[in-house]
């Protein structure tokens, strides 16, 4: 068996066309969605992520505002900026690129952002709404991006056993919440495995759908996958490669070449989940704009 590739670039292009159509409708009413992105310090990876978000905003016609604070910026300076953006009616989404420098308390940062502008879905209010299935908050960008990938690839989730590898607040936990919801595109039976799980390999092998989000390069191997399973790779890792132009290559949490011989569907890294994360961020910003302007 050779797995079908779930093309995140192609599917995100469909989502972004839908985004563009919504933005054009809003602009016809004289309304422009606005997203503010804050970066503390100049970490190269964080800069890359922030620039990719800003670029997509520009392509779609979203008003993007990028703020870069010094790496030694204080909590007070950051909170003052967040407060200013909370009160700016032209801004509908605020995100602070993670991870920040050690002097920044990330939990306090999340709490400071208005839930109505928390387009990353990190605030406890939005997380709680997601957990109980309410749709008037936001869904987190990467997990919801995975749900859209599955839906638009025609992969049945209802009644399937999904195993999520990893329990982070950003991916693993919200992924569980979305997969288990009572709706036509979810309804999965969900197991979460992590660093303290016994017999992890055996549990993963029972899965119809595997979602790898553990942050370990090529952790998932072919002997962990049931034949015909769907494999979604959320991981992004750099591994040294002297033959690569930059001295490294980017791989996921799944050993792609060998797992692709066992799975029925698989996402590549890069080009799988990553583009969907940004597409959903754009969608959340648009939805926030519509709510702030009381547009159905």
Hey, which residues are catalytic here? 53, 97, 120
Provide, for the chain, the percentages of residues in helix, strand and coil under a 3-state DSSP scheme, each rounded to the nearest 5: 40, 15, 45
Strands (E), 99-196: 161-165, 189-193
DSSP code for 135: S
Residues 6+ apart with CB under 8 A from 198: none
Q: 274 is written with which tokens?
A: 């990553």
Query: How is residue 100 written in tokens?
Result: 């920040």
Answer yes or no: are the C-beta atoms of 31 and 286 closer than 8 Å: no
Q: Which residues, including other chains, have CB under 8 Å from residue 268's CB and lie 6 or more apart? A: 5, 7, 8, 233, 252, 256
Cα 91 from Cα 64, distance rounded (Å): 9
Angle at 233 between CA 228 and CA 235, to 5 degrees: 155
Asked if residues 172 and 192 have their Cβ atoms less than 8 Å apart, the reply is yes
Copy the structure tokens of residue 55.
């670029």
Residues in the chain: 296
Query: H or E segment at 249?
Result: strand 248-251
Residue 48 CB partners (closer than 8 Å, separation 6+): none
Q: How far apart are alpha carbons 276 and 59 in whole angstroms?
A: 15
């Amino acid at each position: 068996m050779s797995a079908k590739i779930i093309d995140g670039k192609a599917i995100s292009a469909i989502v972004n066309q839908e985004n563009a159509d919504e933005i054009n409708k809003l602009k016809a009413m004289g309304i422009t969605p606005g997203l503010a992105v804050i970066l503390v310090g100049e970490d190269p990876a964080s800069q890359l992520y922030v620039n990719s978000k800003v670029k997509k905003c520009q392509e779609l016609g979203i008003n993007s505002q990028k703020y870069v604070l010094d790496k030694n910026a204080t909590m007070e300076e950051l909170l003052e900026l967040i407060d200013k953006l909370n009160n700016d009616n032209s801004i509908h989404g605020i995100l602070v690129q993670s991870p920040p420098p050690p002097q920044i308390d990330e939990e306090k940062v999340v709490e400071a952002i208005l839930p109505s502008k928390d387009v990353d879905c990190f605030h406890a209010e939005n997380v709680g709404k997601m957990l109980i299935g309410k749709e008037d908050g936001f869904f987190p960008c990467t997990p919801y991006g995975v749900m859209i990938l599955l839906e638009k690839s025609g992969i049945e989730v209802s009644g399937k056993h999904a195993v999520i590898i990893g329990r982070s607040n950003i991916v693993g936990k919200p992924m569980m919440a979305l997969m288990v919801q009572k709706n036509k595109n979810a309804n999965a039976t969900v197991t979460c495995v992590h660093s303290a799980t016994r017999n992890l390999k055996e549990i993963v092998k029972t899965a119809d759908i595997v979602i790898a989000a553990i942050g370990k390069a090529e952790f998932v191997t072919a002997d962990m996958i049931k034949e015909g399973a769907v494999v979604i790779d959320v991981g992004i890792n750099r591994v040294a490669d002297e033959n690569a132009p930059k001295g490294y290559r980017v791989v996921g949490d799944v050993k792609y070449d060998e797992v692709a011989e066992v799975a029925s569907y698989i996402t590549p890294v890069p080009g799988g989940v990553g583009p969907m994360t940004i597409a959903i961020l754009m969608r959340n910003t648009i939805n926030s704009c519509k709510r702030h302007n009381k547009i159905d």
